[in-house]
Every structure is written in structure tokens, then in C-alpha cells.
């Protein structure tokens, strides 16, 4: 089994790589080859028995993508993406990476021909949906993104579905809720504060909250996100059916409830490290985002996420902080 990961140097990409190396296999088959690409070459993991190739490749350059697709990976995790805040600020870059990148990847697959028919697992986003919303958003809610990032992800979903329908590949698009708590430093995602307000205080640092505490949103941990990807790769075409893009499950809570969970788990002193600093641009973007998602199709297909925000904080403390935090 040969697995290719695009965007492998990103947070989810690194965690997926770790998990695949640890498991040593995917879909019940041993992994003998792992190709990791990103705009800068990802670090090669120590992986006994797996031939690892790491390479710098700009996903928006069709020839660079095609070179790696030509090695005929069985499963492709397409994670490479410019995040929401950056795609909104840099219109060109967002379309180049997110839309042209997907087009290049899919065309590269189609052009291999000769019976090549990989499984493509694409990370979409709940940003494909835009307000006004019903109380809980079903999988078949119409696509009316209110950001360029959401528009790009929605177009990628349509592309993936059409290439799958035409029989060029076996595809599944998983709409990730906001991944929280993201480890490491803040990125340019407009959703970054959802993680910062937990991560920084646990690390003894102050964090800025740019939106109101009444903001409701849906979250899943990085651990769950990797679980979604692995699970998606193992579903058959028959299980998924013709509508291949699915909203993933998550925990819906308000920012106030996030802070309350942090206070309960880590204490008042930690929670007090959150400073209110309203940012109208972020508030406006977030106001257009989904609050609750009906992921019943995904749940029925066996996708699993945390049941509470406390569980999400605990996953972060376990996976990233070795069980300790700055009280």
C-alpha cells in the first residue's frame, strides 16, 4: 500500500503521518511506501519497513503534483490548503492553492490512466456553508459560502464528486469542523482564536479573544480529525453512496462554554489569562459560520468525535502537553 499526503507538513498532515507510521498500515493492509509533500519538504518520520519519500512540491503547479501522482499511490490524502483567513486576505493565493491545486491533482490522476483509480480523501470544511442557517445544518444544506476559502472548498467538493462520478477515482470529501485545540503557534486561520484561548492559557501565556462569548461553533480535536481521515480512507464506494462529501461530527458549544470548560479543568487562574480584544473582521467572518451541524450521515458511517469540550481540552493536554499544564 502506497500512501501520498499533500500538505504533509501541516498540523493535520504531521499527525496523520505519525498515526500511519505507528499503525504501519491502512485499511488492513501494510503500508510499504509513504510519499509526503508540501510547499517545503516535510520532515521524514522514522518508519521501520516503510519507504518514505519527502519532497517540496507546490500543489498549484500541475507538473510538480503530477510527478508524485505518477508513482501511483493507492490512497491520496489531499490536505494541502491555504487557511481561511489567508485565503480571504490573499485572493490570488487562495484560489491558486485551494482551487488550482485541486484541479491539478485531479487532472494528474485522470491523466495517469491505465486503470489507475486511487482513493482520494479530501479535507473540505464547514465553511462551505454560509448563514443564514437552520438551527442544525444537515448534509444537504445548500452551499452558500461567505468566504473565498469556503467557495474554494465548495468548488473542490463539486470537482471531486464529478471526477468520482466519471470513474477517474474513488473520492470522499470530509467537511472538518473547526479543529481545536491546534497545537503550536497561531496560524492565519480566522478560527485560530478558538484554539488560542485554550492553548496559550494552559501554556502560562495570555490569549486574545476577538469575538463575543455568545459565539457558538462546532469543534473536534486534531486526534479526531486524524481519525476521520483514516476512517474515510477505509469506507467503500458502496458505503458512501453518490453523495461523497460529508459533514464530520463535532462538539457544539459557545466560546463562553469553552472558557467554562477550561476553568473547570484547569482552574480560574488559567481561564483568567484570556483577554477580550474585539476584532470586527473576525467577528463578521465567524458570524457567517455554522453553529450546529447535523452529522448524522457521518455518525451512521462510523465517524466519531469528542462528546464534550472538556474531552477536547483533555485530548490536548494528553497529546501535546504530556498531561501537564501551567496552573
**Closer CB to its own copies, 159 or 197, in the complex:** 159
Eight-state DSSP code of residue 293 = B
DSSP 145-206: -SSHHHHHHHHHHHHHHHHHHTTS-EEEEEEE-EE-SPPSS--S-TTHHHHHHHHHHHTT--
**CB of residue 153 vs its own copies: minimum separation in angstroms?**
10
**CB of residue 91 vs its own copies: minimum separation in angstroms?**
7
State how far the Cα of 309 lies from the Cα of 97, in Å rounded to an integer: 32
**Closer CB to its own copies, 230 or 244, in the complex:** 244
DSSP 75-131: EEEE-----HHHHHH-HHHHIIIIIIHHHHHHHHHHHH-TT---EEEEEEEGGG--S
**Closer CB to its own copies, 147 or 218, in the complex:** 147
State how far the Cα of 225 lies from the Cα of 16, in Å rounded to an integer: 9
Q: Are 303 and 147 in contact (CB under 8 A)?
A: no
**Closer CB to its own copies, 24 or 134, in the complex:** 134
**CB of residue 143 vs its own copies: minimum separation in angstroms?**
6
CB-count burial class (<10 Å; 0-12, 13-18, 19+) for 233: buried
**Closer CB to its own copies, 101 or 145, in the complex:** 145
Q: Given the rule CB under 8 A, which residues bind its own copies? A: 91, 110, 140-146, 148, 151, 154-155, 158-159, 161-162, 165-166, 243
**CB of residue 118 vs its own copies: minimum separation in angstroms?**
18
**CB of residue 326 vs its own copies: minimum separation in angstroms?**
42
Torsion of CA 298, 86, 194, 81, to 10 degrees: 30
Question: Which residues are identified as catalytic?
Answer: 149
**CB of residue 126 vs its own copies: minimum separation in angstroms?**
14
Q: Cell numbers at residue 42, please?
A: 516535510
Q: Provide CB contacts within 8 A for 218, sequence distance 6+.
A: 126, 177, 178, 250, 251, 252, 290, 291, 292, 293
**Closer CB to its own copies, 18 or 162, in the complex:** 162
**What is the number of other CB atoms lying within 10 angstroms of the CB of residue 259?**
21
- Site of grid cell 485554550: 198
Amino acid at each position: 500500500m502506497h500512501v501520498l499526503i499533500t500538505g504533509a507538513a501541516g498540523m493535520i498532515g504531521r499527525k496523520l503521518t505519525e498515526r500511519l507510521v505507528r499503525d504501519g498500515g491502512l485499511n488492513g493492509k501494510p503500508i510499504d511506501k509513504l510519499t509526503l509533500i508540501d510547499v517545503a519538504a516535510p520532515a521524514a518520520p522514522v518508519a521501520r519497513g516503510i519507504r518514505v519519500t519527502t519532497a517540496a512540491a507546490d500543489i498549484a503547479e500541475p507538473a510538480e503534483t503530477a510527478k508524485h501522482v505518477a508513482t501511483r499511490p493507492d490512497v491520496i490524502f489531499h490536505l494541502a490548503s491555504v487557511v481561511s483567513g489567508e485565503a480571504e486576505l490573499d485572493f490570488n493565493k487562495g484560489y491558486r492553492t485551494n482551487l488550482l491545486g485541486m484541479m491539478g491533482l485531479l487532472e494528474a490522476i485522470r491523466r495517469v490512466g491505465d486503470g489507475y483509480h486511487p482513493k482520494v480523501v479530501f479535507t473540505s470544511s464547514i465553511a462551505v456553508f454560509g448563514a443564514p442557517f437552520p438551527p442544525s445544518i444537515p448534509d444537504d444544506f445548500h452551499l452558500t459560502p461567505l468566504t473565498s476559502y469556503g467557495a474554494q472548498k465548495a468548488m473542490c467538493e463539486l470537482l471531486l464528486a464529478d471526477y468520482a462520478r466519471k470513474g477517474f477515482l474513488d473520492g470522499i470529501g470530509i467537511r472538518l469542523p473547526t479543529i481545536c485545540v491546534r497545537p503550536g503557534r497561531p496560524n492565519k486561520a480566522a478560527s485560530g482564536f478558538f484554539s488560542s484561548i485554550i492553548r496559550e492559557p494552559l501554556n502560562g501565556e495570555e490569549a486574545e479573544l476577538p469575538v463575543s462569548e455568545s459565539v457558538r461553533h462546532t469543534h473536534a480535536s486534531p486526534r479526531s480529525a486524524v481519525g476521520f481521515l483514516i476512517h474515510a480512507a477505509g469506507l467503500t464506494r458502496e458505503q458512501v453512496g453518490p453523495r461523497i462529501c460529508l459533514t464530520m461530527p463535532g462538539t457544539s458549544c459557545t466560546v463562553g462554554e469553552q472558557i467554562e470548560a477550561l476553568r473547570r479543568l484547569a482552574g480560574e487562574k488559567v481561564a483568567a489569562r484570556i483577554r477580550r480584544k474585539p476584532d470586527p473582521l473576525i467577528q463578521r467572518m465567524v458570524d457567517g459560520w455554522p453553529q450546529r451541524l447535523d452529522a448524522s450521515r457521518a455518525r451512521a458511517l462510523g465517524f466519531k468525535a469528542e462528546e464534550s469540550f472538556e474531552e477536547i481540552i483533555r485530548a490536548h493536554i494528553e497529546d501535546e502537553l504530556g498531561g501537564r499544564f501551567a496552573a
